[in-house]
Amino acid sequence: MSDQNGLAIITGASTGIGLELARCCAAHGFSLLIAADEPAIEQVANDLSAGGATVETVQVDLATEEGVDKLHAAVKGRPVSALLANAGIGLGRSFLDQDYARARRVIDTNIVGTTYLIHKIGNDMRRRNAGRILITGSIAGFVPGSFQAVYNGSKSFLNSFSFALREELKDTAVTVTCLMPGATDTEFFRRADMMDTKVGTEEKDDPTDVAKAGFEAMMKGEGDVVSGWKNKLQSSLANVTPSETLAEQHRKMAEPGTAEH
């Protein structure tokens, strides 16, 4: 079964949505090149290989150009059928109270590293006139993220960037899809230091369902997918709600101390 769909690159594949996207790719006959910045990526490879997939790993920091170059070098000139640019991190607390190095890392991971990787792989795809790109944006990108200001801003960039790139490539056989999940049951909120917030402690979407929706949209070449009916409603309301109101509403979810006990 493995290899029938070609090579898929999945970033941030050690946990959460990225892990589930890797599982989707393996189940649909892609060979995999999976990347993350932690050793857990090796166990993911072992598990997927046990199921019959062909899997290579790169443990690399995708917040740096050197890390992206290392991942691109691991392709070894092979045609990439699908790039699932999923790596991303969050950060809670008010912007001025954050350690700036951590805030900068959100930007470098979510925006700089992602766009650099897409530029490299996307050019390879355009030369071949074939390929699929899936970018993990977020419905957070529709909302000014009080107490998540840098993270929401980074996702706003990715949402916008994906549609612009899709339009630029519309006369080619390269497709661009944006997956826009809501709050998902992953390590995200713990790593973002948000377990004392309402959004960090309330019920969340299943990453398996989110990844499946994104993968299917990518395979169909669709422009975007918002996973879950609640998220669809929230994104629709965001388009007609004043930004000041959205920022005030986000405070009630993300401000430290808002956790539901």
Residue-wise DSSP of 192-232: TT-TTSHHHHS--B-HHHHHHHHHHHHHHT-SEEE-SHHHH
Per-residue pLDDT of the chain (261 residues; tens, 9 = 90+): 345 689 999 999 999 999 999 999 999 999 999 999 999 999 999 999 999 999 999 999 999 999 999 999 999 999 999 999 999 999 999 999 999 999 999 999 999 999 999 999 999 999 999 999 999 999 999 999 999 999 999 999 999 999 999 999 999 999 999 999 999 999 989 999 899 999 899 999 999 999 999 999 999 999 999 977 677 767 777 777 888 988 898 899 889 999 875
Distance CA 60, CA 68 (A): 8
Read off the DSSP letter of residue 146.
T
- Quote the pTM value: 0.94
